Amino acid sequence: MNRRQLLLRGTAAAALGGLGISNQARATTRPTKLVVVFVNGGWDVTMGIAPRLDDSFIEGPRVDELADVPEDVEELGVYGDLHVALNDCDVVRHGSKVYTKRPNARVFFDKWSSQCCAINGVWTGAVGHEPSTIRMCTGTQSGINPDLGAIVSHEFGANVPLGYVAIAGLPFVGPYAASSGQFGFNSQIKVLFNKAASFPPPTEVDSSYPLFLQSEADEAAVQAFLRERADNWSKIRGDNNLNSTKISDLYESYDRSASFSAMTSDCMDTLTLGRSPTLDRQAELAADFLSLNICKSVLIDSKGAWDTHSGNFSQHAFYNSLYGGLDTLMSSLESRGILDDTLVVVVSEMTRTPKINHNLGKDHWPHASVLLMGAGVRGQTSLGDYNELMESMKMSLETGEVSNSGDQLTYAEFFAGVIEHLDIDPEKYLPGITPFRGFVA
Amino acid sequence: MRYSVIILALLACGVDKDASVGIRVEQPVVTEALSNSDRLLRISMALRGVRPSLQDYQTLEADPTQLEFIVDRWLNDPLFGETLKDMYAEALLIRADTEPILISAGPIIDVPSDQVFEAMSESSLRLLEHVVMSDQPFTNIMTADYLMANQTLSLMYGTTYDENGPEWQQAEWLDARPVAGMLSDSALWMRYPNNGFNMHRGRAAFVAKTFLCDDFNTRDINVASGIDLSDEEAVAEAVTTLPTCIGCHQALEPLSSFFWGFQIDIPRTRQNQAYNDYNCAGEYGDACYPLVFWRPEQEDDGADFGLQPPGYYGAPGDRFSDLGQFIADDPRFASCTARRFHAYLTQGALLDAPESQINLYRDALVGSEFSAKALARAVVLDPSFAVARQVDGIEGPWPSIQVIRPEQYERTLYALTGFRLRWRPGTSYHGTFEDVNLAITDRFGFRAMSGGIDGLQVTQPTHTPTPTKVLFMRYMASESAGYVVDDWVAGGADGKALFTEIPQPLSATDNQIRDQMVNFHARLLGDHILADDPEIDRTMALYQDAITRGLSENDAWKQVLSALFQDPRMMFY
């Protein structure tokens, strides 16, 4: 059975039996849905899930405390074995500047710490954004390989309209592009789903869009024509190899674009053409799509200019927004009844140097932390660690306990562990890599 | 017979790829060759991004030996220059329009952001285009002593500019910077800023990857033993003493030292401060136009940080211009260029083609005194470029069907209909955008969503159909159809150029309609079939269905064209 047949079978089943096709055989702690929140630019985890408040070498968030503002205090939040940095100060006025600290952190962890596992000390193997992003998102050194969302889509997404949806940010789809869809930088997907969505042409152009608005019958006639043509083309150029793969992708894209369009038109109404959706809105859309079984994995973007080579203090505000968005995400997943089925991965390509530079910023640091939440995750747990120089410490890949006799946790073991937790054989994607299992409940 | 079938038995390096490790094995691969007309179509799309003319098809049918002459003509077509720019935009990642764009202020206060972006992103690409299309050695992209500038760019950078000359023209830097072709372009180094204490290492790694295919980033770094990356002295010592660092940095460090003199970056936020808060005074003056992005007095500053002097893989150098010459003289530049052309024109991966095949193309480049046209010619006329499908064996390194890129699709539809999907997004925090081509941009458009790259987050194109590509093509197809039929009805030139068989829209006979279908199949799709072919019947049925459902003749034609513009023969070539 090829991918097209699988998709068609799944689409028919969904049409007959409703949207939800749950895998009853799967253990209840195994997630079947995935949300990846990508923190683009490199977060400073010392003011997040790897708190460093009193280190002599590492310049953590206390360097930003304002002495003349008594309420601007960094605290260590302890939630079981989960340690996080907190600062309840909402708005700090210092001279003419206004700063926002991270009051949403306490709100978030008070509510969701039981779902949270922080993994610290993941070695990224690179210091540049692109190579680090590739490694952390694909578990490999090559951007032509699929990321977590694409793999979940490939493994679980045959019978949903679109396996993988990138609401914001852009995914690594590898060979599974035909099961993936992107909303674009400023919600431009809306135009493709709704041709009546208007946007003005340049001033010297007389006409206005759309120039040809087809009825449903018009579109159906064209689609039938195209499928016949594709059948013909397949006979001429199919080869049981690369050609056939591309032709199969065409069929799959026809099917998925049609079913995705049909199921998401209401959701699209909440997007504003020309505007990127907020993190809160992305979170709600992600929960909607997953709960309606429109897709199996979603990529959302944390927003914020996290690459703080200057003015590292701006990360406080980004964190505050991130925690607010994560709260919305978890609440949305819970209210739709899918939190127990969903794994949430909050990941950045790197963290930042332990020292503040001369521009009051922090540079790239080839170590990373990841926050995992949701289905089957050990809650209130911090695994791995950084040493006093902010270097990744060795740990047991089985338990996540720091151990001199352990191994260095790299992007590859982390990635293999996550896909194994998703009940996907990691050998298929990362042969020979030992999965990291410490976060599994 | 519609397709001439030639079975070729080729013994070549097939690729038996494991999902992640890419093991190569020698395997025989049996392939079927394209017909002459399909070969012409593939070559035209690859070189120019548009379909061949009917006359070209007819010329080749009458005399197949004319193929090389047609290819030579196309290599001198300005559309080949457009393809070259697309190719190197993908290598340089310079058309990253989702990045913050420099502000419209001072002498360019009335220039909209889309034009500011164009000035910055196109300069180095236009230099490359100019070098190739004026038959200069391709090495000149590394050594040319001029840049290509339009008026906006000249005001932004303070270069020479002749207001009576062409819009884009050769210009000179006025800040006495060493010249090294496109490497001297400020915009390139704003795209690759020198972050923090990186000491230009990122820029050096980019140059090695892009022009020598020597990618340092494919190797994991191992920072250990308490090296603080924000401590420049500690890093400088580590990269020359630690065994885990030396392997890469013995080459990277001297390469990086060539870049001293170029500034770190000029972000939009600093420009806003400079104009709004500091009146371009003092240290903020550099961020006002003309930008100060080269400081000759800083050319030797690397030594102050204990860094190594400039050098090129063991050979000592001096100024930035030496770097360009070193690259031009490096045999890896020729090989890497051959790989890049082959990969782009065949939609393969940069490193997938076997060395033996790349050597043939490299020899074509070097043997022609670095004619990029000769290189492209060698690639598209190679028998491996004419493979229709594999009959047996495992996947080979040559192209099978190719998938239309967003840039090609935009160009194809424009050539056929005169339509471009343009938007005036207006003013926001990010700038004022007056005229954006949605098919080939990403801030508001669909380039990455339809298989292209955005140059920032998506750095690898997708050469297969995807749901959003299908939706994008559906949208573009119906809008192009709507435009060109309306133009035809109004007596416009675009409509007349497409509807060659029907002089008057409302007076067409059935035979004229059928003849127009035959013409469309040939011009739009490369289907050279007769009027009684079942495929023409199918297209006629689509037209008749529309009429039967009550659509006007004009809308029935829009239906037909919206289908043909997104036909599988348009998606694939």
- Range A396-400 average pLDDT: 97
| Whether residues B315 and B210 fall in one domain | yes
The answer on pLDDT for B231 being more than 80 is no
Q: Which domains does chain A have, with CATH numbers?
A: 3-8+31-185+276-429 (3.40.720)
Transcribe A144-179 into DSSP letters: TS--HHHHHHHHHGGGSS-SEEESSS----GGGGGG
Residues of A in Cβ contact (< 8 Å) with B266: none
- Range A124-133 average pLDDT: 91
Q: A132, A142, A185: best mutation site toward chain B, by most B Cβ within 10 Å?
A: A185
Among residues B371, B402, B433, which one ends one of the domains?
B402
- Residue A257's CB is within 10 A of a number of other CB atoms, namely 26
The answer on pLDDT for B552 being more than 90 is yes
Transcribe B308-363 into DSSP letters: PPPEETTEE--SHHHHHHHHHH-HHHHHHHHHHHHHHHHT--TTTS-HHHHHHHHH
Residues 68 through 127 of chain A touching chain B, CB cutoff 8 Å: 125-127
The answer on pLDDT for B57 being more than 70 is yes
Residues of A in Cβ contact (< 8 Å) with B471: 189, 192-193, 257, 261
N-term to C-term CA, chain B: 19
Q: What is the mean pLDDT of chain B?
A: 91
Tell if the CB–CB gap between B459 and A185 is shorter than 8 Å.
no
Transcribe A237-257 into DSSP letters: H--SSHHHHHHHHHHHHHHHH
Task: Give the whole-angstrom CA distance, residue B121 versus residue B114.
Answer: 10
Residue B311 lies in a domain: yes
Q: What is the CA radius of gyration of chain B?
A: 26
Helix (H, G, I), strand (E, B) or coil at B145: coil
- Range B168-195 average pLDDT: 94
- Range B91-114 average pLDDT: 96
Residue B540 CB burial class (10 angstroms; 0-12, 13-18, ≥19): middle
Tell if the CB–CB gap between B568 and A217 is shorter than 8 Å.
no
Q: What is the pLDDT of residue A94?
A: 66
- The DSSP code for B296 is G
Residue B314 lies in a domain: yes
Task: Give the whole-angstrom CA distance, residue A272 versus residue A285.
Answer: 13
Residue B156 lies in a domain: no
Instruction: Dump strand ranges (E) for A171-246.
Output: 180-182
pTM of the model: 0.91
Tell if the CB–CB gap between A184 and B442 is shorter than 8 Å.
yes
| Residue of A12 and A326 predicted with greater confidence | A326
The answer on pLDDT for A129 being more than 80 is yes
Q: What is the pLDDT of residue B330?
A: 97
Residue B56 lies in a domain: yes
- Range B293-309 average pLDDT: 91
pLDDT in tens, A189-246: 989 988 877 788 898 888 888 999 999 999 999 999 999 999 999 999 988 788 999 9
CB B472 within 8 A of CB B450: yes
- The DSSP code for B260 is B
Residues of B in Cβ contact (< 8 Å) with A256: 467
Residue B392's pLDDT band, with cuts at 50, 70 and 90, is low
A70 phi, psi to nearest 5 deg: -60, -30
Task: Give the whole-angstrom CA distance, residue A417 versus residue B523.
Answer: 53
Q: Identify which of B196, B422, B542 has the shortest CB distance to residue A361.
A: B196
Q: What is the pLDDT of residue B393?
A: 57
Token reading at A133 = 């992003």
Please tell me the least confidently modeled range out of A282-291, B234-243, B256-265, B350-359.
B234-243
**Interface pTM (ipTM) of the complex?**
0.91
- Range B553-557 average pLDDT: 96
Residues of A in Cβ contact (< 8 Å) with B446: 184, 188, 192
pLDDT in tens, A284-331: 999 999 999 999 999 999 999 999 998 999 999 999 999 999 999 999
Residue B5 CB burial class (10 angstroms; 0-12, 13-18, ≥19): exposed
Token reading at B21 = 């490790």
- The DSSP code for B550 is T
Task: Give the whole-angstrom CA distance, residue B279 versus residue B245.
Answer: 45
Count of alpha carbons within 13 Å of A229, Cβ hemisphere only? 27
Strands of the sheet containing A97-102, edge to edge, are: A75-79, A82-94, A97-102
User: Does A405 contact chain B (CB < 8 Å)?
Assistant: no
| Whether residues B412 and B487 fall in one domain | yes
| Whether residues B447 and B348 fall in one domain | no
| Whether residues B527 and B494 fall in one domain | yes
Number of domains in chain B: 3
Q: What is the pLDDT of residue B40?
A: 98
Task: Give the whole-angstrom CA distance, residue A286 versus residue A292.
Answer: 10
Residues 357 through 376 of chain A touching chain B, CB cutoff 8 Å: 357, 359, 361-366
Tell if the CB–CB gap between B546 and A430 is shorter than 8 Å.
no
Element (H, E) at A221: helix A216-237
Please name every residue paired with A371 in a beta bridge, in sequence order, or none if there are none. Answer: A118, A346
Residues of B in Cβ contact (< 8 Å) with A307: 195
Residues of A in Cβ contact (< 8 Å) with B91: none
Its domain, for residue B413, covers 408-571
Residues of B in Cβ contact (< 8 Å) with A226: 563, 566-568
pLDDT over 90 for what percent of chain A? 75
Residue B455 lies in a domain: yes
The answer on pLDDT for A103 being more than 60 is yes
- Range A51-68 average pLDDT: 92
pLDDT in tens, B393-423: 555 555 579 999 999 999 999 999 999 999 9
Phi-psi region of B569 (alpha: psi -120 to 50; beta: other; left: phi over 0): alpha
Q: How far is A113 from chain B (nearest CA, A)?
A: 31
- Range B218-247 average pLDDT: 72
Phi-psi region of B42 (alpha: psi -120 to 50; beta: other; left: phi over 0): alpha
Question: Count H helices, E strands: chain A?
Answer: 11, 13
Q: A135, A242, A256, A302: best mutation site toward chain B, by most B Cβ within 10 Å?
A: A242
Q: How far is B181 from chain A (nearest CA, A)?
A: 25
| Whether residues B480 and B562 fall in one domain | yes
Residue A21 CB burial class (10 angstroms; 0-12, 13-18, ≥19): middle
User: Does A194 contact chain B (CB < 8 Å)?
Assistant: no
| Whether residues B315 and B352 fall in one domain | no
| Token pair 């297209």 in the structure block, residue | B539
Residue A372's pLDDT band, with cuts at 50, 70 and 90, is very high
- Range B388-392 average pLDDT: 80
| Token pair 């675009």 in the structure block, residue | B494
Token reading at B193 = 């800023």
Cα dihedral across residues B282, B284, B286, B290: positive or negative: negative
| Residue of B275 and B220 predicted with greater confidence | B275
| Whether residues B385 and B414 fall in one domain | no
Residues of A in Cβ contact (< 8 Å) with B539: 225
Please name every residue paired with B133 in a beta bridge, in sequence order, or none if there are none. Answer: none
Kind of pairing between the strands at A116-123 and A381-383:
parallel
Give the closest residue to A323 by CA, choosing from A166, A105, A171, A81: A105
Q: What is the pLDDT of residue A241?
A: 81
Tell if the CB–CB gap between B454 and A233 is shorter than 8 Å.
no
Tell if the CB–CB gap between B446 and A245 is shorter than 8 Å.
no
Tell if the CB–CB gap between A226 and B563 is shorter than 8 Å.
yes
Residues of B in Cβ contact (< 8 Å) with A362: 196, 230
Q: A136, A180, A214: best mutation site toward chain B, by most B Cβ within 10 Å?
A: A214
Residue B336 lies in a domain: yes
Which span out of A255-264, B261-270, B541-550 was modeled with the highest average pLDDT? B541-550
Q: A194, A229, A248: best mutation site toward chain B, by most B Cβ within 10 Å?
A: A229
| Residue of A7 and B72 predicted with greater confidence | B72
| Whether residues B309 and B356 fall in one domain | no
| Whether residues B303 and B355 fall in one domain | no
| Whether residues B249 and B335 fall in one domain | no
Strands of the sheet containing A367-374, edge to edge, are: A180-182, A164-166, A297-301, A33-39, A342-348, A367-374, A116-123, A381-383
- Range B35-64 average pLDDT: 98
Residue B189 lies in a domain: no
Residue B187 lies in a domain: no
User: Does A163 contact chain B (CB < 8 Å)?
Assistant: no
| Whether residues B366 and B427 fall in one domain | no
The answer on pLDDT for A395 being more than 50 is yes
The answer on pLDDT for B143 being more than 50 is yes
Q: What is the mean pLDDT of chain A?
A: 90
B179 phi, psi to nearest 5 deg: -100, 135
| Whether residues B474 and B565 fall in one domain | yes
Tell if the CB–CB gap between A363 and B195 is shorter than 8 Å.
yes
Q: What is the pLDDT of residue A60?
A: 96
Among residues B348, B371, B402, which one ends one of the domains?
B402
Residues 13 through 52 of chain A touching chain B, CB cutoff 8 Å: 40
